[in-house]
A and B are shown apart, each in its own frame.
Chain A
């Protein structure tokens, strides 16, 4: 049994040339935590989602491995909005989340659940040979599918 059992074809994808603001609007409209970003040939480029948006709202140092605690920073909501506004018109290609490792269509089901459990986010499924996006396994859909079969 592979991840195919809980795999959904990608309903909505983002393009690398779309702006951060456009992506944010789509994420909110679709009620999604994250969406895959694919190029014009359908090749997977990375993920973009709420987590990345939160990162963009924080000082850049927050993205470092050795990030300090930021309790000393006394920014107000307006300051945080200003950070998001500064990147709103930038293309997604500059802000892809490359920490999400795609899985293969042949990844076993239990391993897929383990990766979902660890990543706490939806996972892209990518064809090894062509690099094209095959689908997405989402936390919600995976549990929904498995629960229905119980």
Chain B
């Protein structure tokens, strides 16, 4: 992630490699148990790295990728303001009506809408916006929401893989490697479109073709007035203007010499300004306070702590050693290395949090640069890592935050989401997406 200048001086002269590895493993294991909030665990891990002497305070701060932090926070603020106007619900209802309220058509359209939203928004935010409307539509149609919700989980994780800002692993990879928004779109969106279409077909064959609704129930959905979902037309215009500006800036980032974090933060500040302009000072403070309250601080502090923990391991030389071992294992063959990363990322991301995994893999892969002819030679590995880590999350209910969010909302609405039942269906479909990715990476880069 960053070049190490600090030389670890661990307490009692202990070996920094062992101490940092133990701290990293302890952090991972405790995060996996989900007994303690992951932000607390990551911050404790970071503190331990400093207290034990693996890092000093300056090195720990150097380890934090503030571009990622700014990008995440900025986009969270933009979404927090934008969602107030109801535009996302509008699109979901509009798409259901475009499908003439036919359940199979709605299953297809909601997947596409979710995937597109997810490419530009955080996956969890996307499902938080889509699931409530989905539940209303399914209830009116008297159809089981479970298939639609599972399909939306997939679409959120698949769509999020297409862009730099769609999924946290991509944000970290992009920030650490300098790969731009356009790089992600050009390299990942073609295969993501194919994977999404294949997934839509699978869900149609599995569920969609047998889903039926009575004409009177379909008429109720067709009577929905999507215009009523828009609660603030002025805010809608402001939010769409800023979103368009931000995406344009992402596209032109290389020419503008701006980091994605700067663009997102500037966009967030501009949107907040437009939103509070002309309001009394007290109301402005209240509004900004509310918007900041919607930022997922758990995620932000989790990243801060995690970056420090991983930097500790990197500084101690553990990741360089692991990279050398991995190269030895794959014989320095780019094909074998890329496909190993793709499949290992997918399987691991289905069972563990993909964010710590990707954060650890980035410096490890960077250490392979000399073997593969420099930074450009690593490109296939970055795309393999992104595809594996993002798509692998679909494999189980705990594979990605969006999955758990949907399951939690469904349970509150009385819809049971079983880990085993979900995995039985989801894991094979996830493997299909990885097989397609394997073909794509092989064909395009190897």
Contacts and interface: CB of A to CB of B under 8 A. Distances in A.
Interface of A: 59-61, 63-64, 66-75, 79
Contacts of A79: 220
B129 A66 contact: yes
A69 B231 CA distance: 8
Chain A facing B: main interface SS: loop
Chain B facing A: main interface SS: helix
B132 A67 contact: yes
B15 interface: no
Interface residues of B, number: 25
A68 B89 contact: yes
A74 B224 contact: yes
A61 B145 CA distance: 11
B229 A72 contact: yes
| 8 closest A-B pairs by CB | A71-B228, A61-B135, A61-B132, A72-B228, A60-B413, A74-B223, A72-B229, A59-B136
Given A72-B225, A72-B227, A73-B224, 15 more contacts: A59-B135, A59-B136, A59-B139, A60-B414, A61-B135, A63-B413, A64-B135, A66-B131, A68-B89, A70-B136, A71-B229, A72-B93, A72-B229, A73-B140, A74-B220
Contacts of A71: 225, 228-229, 231
Contacts of B414: 60
B360 to A, nearest CB: 32
Contacts of B136: 59, 61, 68, 70, 73
Contacts of A72: 89, 93, 224-229
A71 B228 CA distance: 5
Contacts of B226: 72
B86 interface: yes
A136 to B, nearest CB: 27
Nearest to B224: A72
B410 to A, nearest CB: 10
A79 B223 CA distance: 13
6 contacts: A61-B132, A61-B136, A64-B413, A72-B226, A73-B136, A74-B225
A60 B135 contact: yes
B86 A69 contact: yes
B355 to A, nearest CB: 23
A38 B105 CA distance: 46
A64 B139 CA distance: 14
Interface string B133-158: 10110011000000000000000000
Contacts of B89: 68-69, 72
Contacts of B225: 71-72, 74
Interface centre among B93, B132, B220, B231 (most CB of A within 10 A): B132
Interface in B271-329: none
Contacts of B228: 69, 71-72
A61 B127 CA distance: 13
B152 to A, nearest CB: 14
B128 interface: yes
B207 to A, nearest CB: 20
Nearest to A75: B220
Nearest to A79: B220
Contacts of B133: 61, 68
Contacts of A67: 132
A63 B135 CA distance: 11
A96 B139 CA distance: 21
Given A69-B231, A70-B136, A61 B413 contact: yes
Contacts of B223: 74
B412 interface: yes
Contacts of A68: 86, 89, 132-133, 136, 229
Nearest to A70: B136
A124 B254 CA distance: 62
B162 to A, nearest CB: 24
B46 to A, nearest CB: 30
